[in-house]
Amino acid sequence: MDFKHHPSTDFRPLEALSRDQAADEIEALREGIRHHDYLYYVKTEPAISDAVYDQLFDRLQALEAEFPSLQSENSPTQRIGAEPVSALNKREHRAAMLSLESVQNDDEVADFIKRLQRDAGGGDNDGDGDDAGGGDDAGDGNQGPVALVLEPKFDGLSIELIYDQGVFSSGSTRGDGYTGEDISHNLRRAAAVPMRLHKAPRHLAVRAEIFMPRSGFTALNRERVQRGDEPFANPRNAAAGLMRQLDPNRVAGRPLDLFCYELLEIDGEAAPATHHQLLERLADWGLKTCPLNRNAEHLDDVRAYHAELEGQRDTLDVEIDGVVIKLDDRARRETLGVRARSPRWALAWKFAPREEITTLEEITVQVGRTGILTPIALLQPVDVGGVTVSRATLHNADEVQRKDVRPGDQVRIIRAGDVIPEIAERIEQPGQTRALSFAMPEHCPVCSTEIIRDGAYHRCPAGLACEAQLVGQITHYASRDALDIDGLGEETARQLVERGLVHDLADLYRLETQDLEAMEGFGETAARNLVQAIDRARRPSLQRFVYALGIRHIGARMATVLTRRFGSLDALLKADRTALERIPEVGPEIAAAVVAFFDNADNRQVLEKLRDAGVEVEDVSEQEPAQADDSHRLSGKTFVFTGELAHYSRREAQSAVEARGGRATSDVSSATDYLVRGKDPGSKAERAQDLGIEILDEAEFEQLLEQG
Ligand code: IVH
């Protein structure tokens, strides 16, 4: 049985196996799964499909369930089902986890490299007679060679990982460098952390950076916003937030990755003599190292590397904020030693800051889709880490007051990752005469309607009679999660409204190529493409359409809830507050917003016009309304599965139960409601029979899923 290279999923029935045979198969499966985890997470070169991987995993789970004495806490299956902890325990590090001295410019890097040569006994051996004292030879750029390793400076979370006999034993955060917090439970659920190493020494403690890849972060935040949760400010906070969870189930399935970069302790094998050899060893053991690490010898190499990574900074999937320059020779590191908090053998060279000071010229007010007024700071344009910034949001009137910014003030701008620039603070200028403090306008700057106060916000109540809100509504209607109309962004929407071509959503469907051709930035092709894209958006699903209407408080998830409950636009139109509030996820505020939207005569008219323009919202199909509120149908019911099902993997069957509010467990007990018996059932079926538990075959199980 070799599941590494030739994974066969043609398994023998469980009962046909002796304990020894099962033990052999389990061992082979564990090895195979670890190997494929390694290829997937460390090498990022998967060799099998997800479907085959799932089958191997399911088989291992089934075998372990059938032969509980063969279970092991180091099995890949044990990543699943870890228990929450009640608090994060303190953990002392084996060796101090120091920080890095960091510098901003290459003169200091030149000094550092010179020092390395001198203090580590290398001397100035480039033959130009330049002595090591001055550190001012940045002009020629080349000092004598000194073996260095260059690495990105990751902006993640520094952690310690400990392996004993090649098996993951614990992990902790850096904390103050001496004591951190035990996060083993969460690391066990982070798939990028290997639970077992290949041919590793008896004992190993390594330092690594765990982080959330930018791509995963964007997706996670989208999901959070759609659910109505606060988005994380940046990937670093997201990763740190996950690592400090008490319940490891929140970590499972989250996009987390890591790079290992230092050795803290090793036992049972000599430590590699150089850092680049250590990086190779780490990779041999199965620990992920960064592919951007590089060997170097001269200041020029370091400069080139710094420039290259700074250029790639925004396109890399990992956030980095500089480069780390390390002495390669580990014995020489020892001789150099450490300062109070940082070693003398390494240096961080940070990228240009994404922070700048500029003048606030004016505060204007922008009107959004829902009529909310947002104060915007117009700034004297300034380059912040390679991007010219001329505007920053001030959120609301309270925020302007809190920051006390006024036209003419000097302000500090920060730009983190891809997010919109923010004003961090005002910089006090003694003796300066300041402008009057900002006040929100009393009338809408776009349509002159009187502004009303809405909690922390100011709002223009004119609705779609206000052009700014109409532009916002069109943009939202066309956005990706709504009707996904390609080529209809904010700029186009604004032109359509300003030129009087569109007065409401229904007008979009009457646009013709000639109308669009006259607009700025539109040629014949673009005009034709947009008309076609709008035409394709005539049969939206109910969920997308409800979301696209831009009803207050109705995000994508709530649109799903309403769709499931009502199944058709007509049914939703008829719903009153009582009917809406009967839905568990819907509170009084949401119910009121939905009713108010559909009661509004203008909105009714737009819906009517959309219908006349040929927009047909697709009802949820015939049998689906029965499933409409299926999220609770199996609520409180506990299922156990045994044997193989023909149409479901174990995971699919479990998810199907969970999607309906039920629970799937692995052991039969008096708390079990149903035992689902597949092909080649195990001993659980007998136990269920003994306990008088209802036993379902696959067809009965499917029926239960469908009808409840
Ligand atoms: S080596 C003793 N290498 O930067 C030197 N650190 O204060 C140990 N960091 O929180 C650190 N990327 O976690 C090292 N390639 C890298 C790094 C790195 C990021 C972090 C480190 C620490 C901070 C420096």
Give the number of the atom of ligand 1 that is nearest the alpha carbon of residue 153.
12
Arithmetic mean of pLDDT, 614-639: 68
Return the best residue to mutate from 102, 112, 158, 160 for the ligand 1 pocket (most ligand atoms within 8 A of CB): 158
Cα 91 from Cα 171, distance rounded (Å): 9
160 lines ligand 1 (CB under 6 A): no
Residue with CA at minimum distance from ligand 1 atom 2: 98
Residue 541 pLDDT exceeds 80: yes
Arithmetic mean of pLDDT, 626-637: 62
- pLDDT value at position 653? 81
393 lines ligand 1 (CB under 6 A): no
User: Strand 410-414 vs strand 422-427: parallel, antiparallel, or unpaired?
Assistant: antiparallel
Same-domain check for residues 544 and 649: no
Residues tagged active-site: 153
Same-domain check for residues 339 and 317: yes
What is the whole-number distance in angstroms between the Cα of residue 211 and the centre of ligand 1? 13
For residue 167, what is the domain's CATH number?
A: 3.30.470.30
DSSP labels, 526-542: HHHHHHHHHHHTTS-BH
Q: Token pair of 682, please?
A: 């195990």
Q: Mean pLDDT lowest for which of 370-379, 417-426, 521-530?
A: 417-426
Highest mean pLDDT among 74-83, 223-232, 251-260, 469-478: 469-478
| 3-state class (DSSP) for residue 646 | coil
Cα 279 from Cα 273, distance rounded (Å): 11
Arithmetic mean of pLDDT, 94-119: 90
124 in a structural domain: no
Arithmetic mean of pLDDT, 197-203: 93
153 lines ligand 1 (CB under 6 A): yes
Q: What is the tally of helices (H) and strands (E) in the chain? A: 24, 22
What is the whole-number distance in angstroms between the Cα of residue 252 and the centre of ligand 1? 26
Residue 86 pLDDT exceeds 90: no
From the number of C-beta atoms within 10 Å of its C-beta (0-12, 13-18, 19+), residue 331 rates as exposed
Same-domain check for residues 215 and 231: yes
Residue 166 pLDDT exceeds 60: yes
261 lines ligand 1 (CB under 6 A): yes
Residue 652 pLDDT exceeds 80: no
Provide, for the chain, the percentages of residues in helix, strand and coil under a 3-state DSSP scheme, each rounded to the nearest 5.
Answer: 40, 20, 40
Interhelix angle 588-599/601-612, nearest 10 degrees: 60
211 lines ligand 1 (CB under 6 A): no
Name the pLDDT band for 177 (thresholds 50, 70, 90).
Answer: confident
Query: Which own/partner pairs from 60-64 qualify as long-range (CB within 8 Å, at least 24 positions apart)?
Result: 60/26, 60/29, 60/30, 60/33, 61/650, 62/14, 62/644, 62/650, 62/682, 63/14, 63/17, 63/22, 63/25, 63/26, 63/29, 64/26
What is the whole-number distance in angstroms between the Cα of residue 116 and the centre of ligand 1? 19
Predicted model pTM: 0.55
- pLDDT value at position 636? 75
Same-domain check for residues 592 and 675: no
Average pLDDT for the chain: 87
262 lines ligand 1 (CB under 6 A): yes
Return the best residue to mutate from 149, 151, 153, 260 for the ligand 1 pocket (most ligand atoms within 8 A of CB): 153
The values of phi and psi at residue 109, to 5°, are -70, -40
343 lines ligand 1 (CB under 6 A): yes
CB 305 within 8 A of CB 141: no
Choosing from 350, 369, 404, the residue where a domain stops is 350
110 lines ligand 1 (CB under 6 A): no
Radius of gyration of the chain from its Cα atoms, rounded to whole angstroms: 31
321 lines ligand 1 (CB under 6 A): no
- pLDDT value at position 434? 92
514 in a structural domain: yes
| 3-state class (DSSP) for residue 253 | coil
Arithmetic mean of pLDDT, 695-701: 90
Residue with CA at minimum distance from ligand 1 atom 18: 153
Residue 706 pLDDT exceeds 80: no
What is the whole-number distance in angstroms between the Cα of residue 316 and the centre of ligand 1? 18
501 in a structural domain: yes
Residue 624 pLDDT exceeds 50: no
Choosing from 350, 365, 398, the residue where a domain stops is 350
For residue 382, what is the domain's CATH number?
A: 2.40.50.140
- pLDDT value at position 359? 96
CB 419 within 8 A of CB 234: yes
- pLDDT value at position 644? 84
What is the whole-number distance in angstroms between the Cα of residue 623 and the centre of ligand 1? 57
Q: Token pair of 618, please?
A: 């697709």
Arithmetic mean of pLDDT, 478-507: 93
Same-domain check for residues 176 and 265: yes
91 in a structural domain: no
Identify which has the larger pLDDT, 165 or 708: 165
Cα 490 from Cα 475, distance rounded (Å): 5
What is the whole-number distance in angstroms between the Cα of residue 100 and the centre of ligand 1? 6
Identify which has the larger pLDDT, 524 or 45: 524
Same-domain check for residues 476 and 450: no
Residue 309 pLDDT exceeds 90: yes
- pLDDT value at position 133? 40
CB 517 within 8 A of CB 588: no
Give the number of the atom of ligand 1 that is nearest the alpha carbon of residue 346.
5
90 in a structural domain: no
Same-domain check for residues 175 and 46: no
Q: Token pair of 383, please?
A: 């380059």
- DSSP alpha helix (H) spans, 466-576: 467-478, 490-498, 513-517, 524-536, 542-548, 556-566, 569-574
What is the whole-number distance in angstroms between the Cα of residue 217 and the centre of ligand 1? 22
195 lines ligand 1 (CB under 6 A): no
Residue with CA at minimum distance from ligand 1 atom 22: 99
151 lines ligand 1 (CB under 6 A): yes
Return the best residue to mutate from 209, 290, 305, 349 for the ligand 1 pocket (most ligand atoms within 8 A of CB): 209
Predicted confidence (pLDDT) per residue in 454-474, tens digit: 888 999 998 888 999 999 999
Choosing from 622, 641, 658, the residue where a domain stops is 622
Number of structural domains the chain divides into? 5
- pLDDT value at position 140? 42
122 in a structural domain: no
The fraction of the chain above a pLDDT of 70, given in percent, is: 92
Give the number of the atom of ligand 1 that is nearest the alpha carbon of residue 293.
15
What is the whole-number distance in angstroms between the Cα of residue 216 and the centre of ligand 1? 23
Return the best residue to mutate from 100, 264, 287, 305 for the ligand 1 pocket (most ligand atoms within 8 A of CB): 100
Arithmetic mean of pLDDT, 386-400: 88
CB 375 within 8 A of CB 364: yes
Arithmetic mean of pLDDT, 348-372: 91
Return the best residue to mutate from 176, 324, 336 for the ligand 1 pocket (most ligand atoms within 8 A of CB): 324
245 in a structural domain: yes
For residue 28, what is the domain's CATH number?
A: 1.10.287.610
- pLDDT value at position 128? 40
Cα 438 to chain centroid, rounded: 37
Residue with CA at minimum distance from ligand 1 atom 21: 158
Residue 669 pLDDT exceeds 50: yes
- pLDDT value at position 138? 40
Name the pLDDT band for 370 (thresholds 50, 70, 90).
Answer: confident
Cα 84 from Cα 64, distance rounded (Å): 22
Cα 415 from Cα 658, distance rounded (Å): 41
For residue 487, what is the domain's CATH number?
A: 1.10.150.20
108 in a structural domain: no
Residue 141 pLDDT exceeds 60: no
Cα 618 from Cα 324, distance rounded (Å): 56
Highest mean pLDDT among 20-29, 480-489, 621-630, 640-649: 20-29
For residue 644, what is the domain's CATH number?
A: 3.40.50.10190
Same-domain check for residues 440 and 564: no
The residue segments making up the domain with residue 694 are 629-706
Residue 136 pLDDT exceeds 60: no
Residue with CA at minimum distance from ligand 1 atom 10: 158
Same-domain check for residues 481 and 510: yes
347 lines ligand 1 (CB under 6 A): no
Identify which has the larger pLDDT, 626 or 450: 450
Arithmetic mean of pLDDT, 66-88: 79
Q: DSSP state, 508?
A: G
Same-domain check for residues 162 and 47: no
CB 220 within 8 A of CB 241: no
Residue with CA at minimum distance from ligand 1 atom 23: 99
- pLDDT value at position 419? 55
Residue 126 pLDDT exceeds 50: no
Same-domain check for residues 580 and 664: no
Same-domain check for residues 334 and 362: no
What is the whole-number distance in angstroms between the Cα of residue 212 and the centre of ligand 1? 16
209 lines ligand 1 (CB under 6 A): yes
324 lines ligand 1 (CB under 6 A): yes
Name the pLDDT band for 372 (thresholds 50, 70, 90).
Answer: very high
98 lines ligand 1 (CB under 6 A): yes
